A and B are shown apart, each in its own frame.
Chain A
Amino acid sequence: MNINHLAIAPILLPLATAALMVPLSERRRTLKALMSVVSTLGTIAIALTLLSYADAQPPGAGATSVYLLGNWAAPFGIVLVVDRLSAFMITLGSIVVFCGLLFAIARWHGAGAHFHTLVQFLLVGLNGAFLTGDLFNLFVFFEVLLAASYGLVLHGSGAPRVKAAVHYIAINLAASSLFLIGVSLIYGAVGTLNMADLAARVAALGDSERMLLETGAAILGVAFLVKAGMWPMCFWLPTTYSVVVPPVAAMFAIMTKVGIYVILRLWPMIFGAEAGASAYFGSEWLLVGGIATVVFGCIGLLAAQDLPRLASYSIIVSSGTLLSAIAVGNVGVTSGALFYLASSTLAVSAFFLLIELIERSRMPGADVLAVTVEALGEEEDDVDGADPVGVAIPATMAILGIGFAACALLLAGLPPLTGFIAKFLMLYALFPAGGVEAAAVAPAVSWTLFAVLLASGFAIMISMVRTGIRVFWVPLESEVPSVRFLEMVPIVVLLSLCAAMTVAAGPVQSFMQATAQSLHAPQGYIGDVLSAPRVQPAPSGVVP
């Protein structure tokens, strides 16, 4: 089989599934769930195939495959590009979506209409955004992704969710306007929307065009940073993520990473060392903004009164950590940041799922979250059958406690799990064997990042331990939460993926290192995209 055609499969498969599901009646929920699971598993399989192809490439190689849509040559037509980073992001995204989906099938998918259709459209948008090699197509896939996410935020309905959705939609529509302004300014200045072509043309721009390009890039950057949740554009995030239904929140753990992905993809490519006068444009903004985000996230964590809010602020902390690490512009730090991205996405996703199970036991009169109480109260009536909560698996509380501890270790970056390895890699790259000077990073930056990384880990640990004591070390007033087996599976999958990454840290690290290398030396990528050959019609064809 031609591997080249596999590049479009992660978009087509969920799209076709979603299209088939639209006319199906809501009563056929089991069928829809089955279709959704099969399609998502298929996407994971495709993503893993693409990942293995990408991993087989020599380090520093450019794109694995460039898919010319409509068989138009690269700078004029639209391209899909698979390389290490996009294959990795597709895999991560589809795994997170799959786990959320599995969790939802146990209980939550009946809380509203079209859940499975929206999840598939979310997957289309995510995969498209990770694969596209064209700025305007990125906008289109962002809108697909966002439209699905609006529906998912509203899933389960209720006043708090609708209120959060109003804010979420308004801020995202405003950000989309900024996105369009940025894209059109860049087109006006450079005359291309293809990312690779753009990067190739930056160094040769005149001064007036350069100013327009930088303005456009800054406006575009603001649009992505709103999605990534950089301070001061992140106030929508905790409110939204803490009221949406838990499986959706778990899927949304990948959504902020889409903004991070775009920055990771575009910034080193367009404003890398080869960009002439624009080299490293905006790095100080990313750095300062990233650090401010971490500080804001830590304050929010320490002040958080309930578990969903705690998880939302830990997303902000991880976004800030990633942004400030990317801003350093060093291959080693970027590879550590990629490791951290995988680890924190899986951990936060598992944490959101875990929270719901923990909150279930504390339901009667437990803390401030009247929201969930209300939503679950309605939910109880919807679940059909005589046994609405399933069979209690033994030692539930102990398993939940172990899961909670694992999440705390992962998020705070304590040994032995991946959180620690990722932070260690970043710090090791900042302070290599030859001393601070050998890292080619200003020592002040290195020391600031050092302090920020460790202090944020400390803040996460304090808040997690405090919450853990409050939740687990109390006399059992209410009965042990009833947890279905199906609800434990996604949490176990997510956490054991982190454990597997800890065990196989060597191969994962060398993959991340190769990814970071090709990100910081984009000539291979640019060359591969611009010289991608068109498919010639078969000689025996009926073409006149």
Chain B
Amino acid sequence: MEIILALSIGALAGSGVWLMLRSRTYQVLIGLSLLSYAVNLFIFSMGRVRTGAPPILKPGVPETLANYTDPVPQALVLTAIVITFAMTALFLVVLLAARGLARNDHVDGRES
């Protein structure tokens, strides 16, 4: 499972960076989104990969780390998802404005 997680983070981050370096604004936007997915998965994995363990205390289960998973990265990832989602939406609006003003979708506002 660690291998699959690591590979998917790597694939997302790699394609994100590649797209971010492209010259069309939409590609940059998608690149940033993919990068943020990779980052979110990465934050999640920093709480160590565990299956079948809840992040909140359950009555009757002994309160030791062996029975639970670390709740902090999950809380962090929620916050990060919300923030990056909002920022992506804002960026999209700015991209549309730039497209309207420059009449093309090059990141520098002009072809060549």
Contact = CB atoms under 8 A, between A and B. Distances in A.
A and B from one complex: yes
Interface of A: 136, 139-140, 143, 146-147, 150, 154, 157-159, 162-163, 165-167, 169-170, 173-174, 176-177, 180-181, 183-185, 187-188, 193
A190 to B, nearest CB: 11
B42 A143 contact: no
Contacts of B87: 143, 146-147, 169, 173, 176
Interface string B77-91: 001100110111011
A180 B109 contact: no
A188 B94 CA distance: 35
> How would you classify the secondary structure of chain B's contact residues: helix, strand, loop or mixed?
helix
**The 8 A-B residue pairs with the shortest CB-CB distance in the complex, in nearest-first order:** A188-B46, A184-B43, A184-B46, A159-B101, A163-B109, A162-B98, A177-B39, A180-B39
> How would you classify the secondary structure of chain A's contact residues: helix, strand, loop or mixed?
helix
Interface in B3-25: 20, 25
B57 interface: no
B35 A154 contact: no
Contacts of B76: 136, 183-184, 187
Nearest to A151: B90
B46 A159 contact: no
Contacts of B88: 173
A366 B107 CA distance: 28
Interface in B59-107: 72-73, 76, 79-80, 83-84, 86-88, 90-91, 94-95, 97-98, 101-102, 107
Nearest to B110: A163
A163 B97 CA distance: 9
Contacts of A167: 107
Contacts of A159: 101-102, 109
23 contacts: A139-B80, A140-B83, A146-B87, A147-B86, A147-B90, A150-B90, A150-B94, A158-B101, A159-B101, A159-B102, A163-B101, A163-B109, A166-B98, A167-B107, A173-B36, A173-B87, A174-B35, A176-B83, A177-B32, A180-B42, A180-B43, A181-B39, A184-B76
B43 A170 contact: no
A181 B43 CA distance: 7
Contacts of A143: 83, 87
B86 to A, nearest CB: 7
A70 B98 CA distance: 43
Contacts of B90: 147, 150, 169
B91 A163 contact: no
B108 A163 contact: yes
Given A173-B87, A181-B39, 8 more contacts: A136-B76, A139-B80, A140-B79, A158-B101, A162-B101, A174-B35, A177-B36, A180-B39
A170 B28 contact: yes
Contacts of A188: 46-48
A166 B25 contact: yes
Contacts of A165: 94, 98
B96 to A, nearest CB: 10
Given A136-B79, A159-B101, A181 B109 contact: no
Contacts of A140: 79, 83
Contacts of B43: 180, 183-184
A150 B93 CA distance: 11
A220 to B, nearest CB: 13
Interface of B: 20, 25, 28, 32, 35-36, 39, 42-43, 46-48, 72-73, 76, 79-80, 83-84, 86-88, 90-91, 94-95, 97-98, 101-102, 107-109
Given A143-B87, A147-B87, A163-B109, A169 B39 contact: no
A262 to B, nearest CB: 18
A170 B72 CA distance: 28
A174 B46 CA distance: 20
Contacts of B46: 184-185, 187-188
Nearest to A150: B90
Contact of A187 (B35, B72, B98): B72
B47 to A, nearest CB: 8
Given A143-B87, A154-B94, A165-B94, A181 B42 contact: yes
B25 to A, nearest CB: 7
Contacts of A163: 98, 101-102, 108-109
A187 B77 CA distance: 13
A489 B73 CA distance: 48
Contact of B97 (A162, A176, A180): A162
Contacts of A176: 83-84, 87
Contacts of B28: 170
Which of A150, A157, A177 has the most chain B CB atoms closer than 10 A to its own CB? A177
A169 B91 contact: yes
Contacts of B107: 166-167, 170
Contacts of B83: 140, 143, 176
Contacts of B91: 169-170, 173
B109 A173 contact: no
A174 B20 contact: yes
A491 B27 CA distance: 43
Nearest to A180: B39
Contact of B94 (A139, A146, A169): A169
Contacts of A169: 87, 90-91, 94
A180 B102 contact: no
Contacts of B48: 188
A401 B88 CA distance: 44
Contacts of B86: 147
Contacts of A162: 94, 97-98, 101-102
A170 B42 contact: no
Contacts of B108: 163
Nearest to B103: A159
A146 B95 CA distance: 17
Contacts of B25: 166
B48 to A, nearest CB: 8
